[in-house]
Amino acid sequence: MDERKLKPGDPKLLAISQQGRCFYCGEPVGAKATYDHFIPQCYGGIDDIANIVLSHRRCNILKGDRLPTPDEIDSFLTLRRNARLPVWPPILALADAEEGEEWIVVARAVAAEGGWKG
């Protein structure tokens, strides 16, 4: 795959940046990769590369509609920084929140009334 021909929002960049591995389990995804909304759409997550990770179908199904854990957010941000890929601002808000009660408050704000408005 010629990286020079890919546009910044092209999901194929995920396969390159994630080295063809599932975001959740780290195993190779092969041809049956799926795209998972890191912040689920039911929580207002956008359908954009800034909020999408490459995953196995089974890992995507197992994650379901839950919000990412603090460890998953850290991994997501590290991966994005290294690959120079965009990050949806609510993910940064979750990353900056303290684990525990504050994180829950921020997560609920992301999910409130149709999702993030910022």
pLDDT, tens digit, 9 for 90 and up, residues 74-102: 999 999 999 888 998 888 888 887 777 66
> In this model, does residue 1 exceed pLDDT 50?
no
Among candidates 97, 5, 22, 13, which has minimal Cα distance to 48? 13
What confidence score (pLDDT) does residue 97 get?
A: 76
> In this model, does residue 4 exceed pLDDT 50?
no
> In this model, does residue 7 exceed pLDDT 60?
yes
- Domain encompassing residue 103: 3-114
Question: What is the count of structural domains for the chain?
Answer: 1
> In this model, does residue 15 exceed pLDDT 90?
no
Cβ pair 51, 45 in contact under 8 A: yes
28 pairs with which residues across the strands?
Answer: 21
Cβ pair 41, 33 in contact under 8 A: no
> In this model, does residue 116 exceed pLDDT 70?
no
What confidence score (pLDDT) does residue 76 get?
A: 96
pTM: 0.80
Tell me the CB-side half-sphere exposure of residue 83, using CA atoms within 13 A.
Answer: 24
CA 83 to the chain's CA centroid: 13
Can you tell me the distance from the alpha carbon of 27 to that of 98, in angstroms, rounded to the nearest whole number? 30
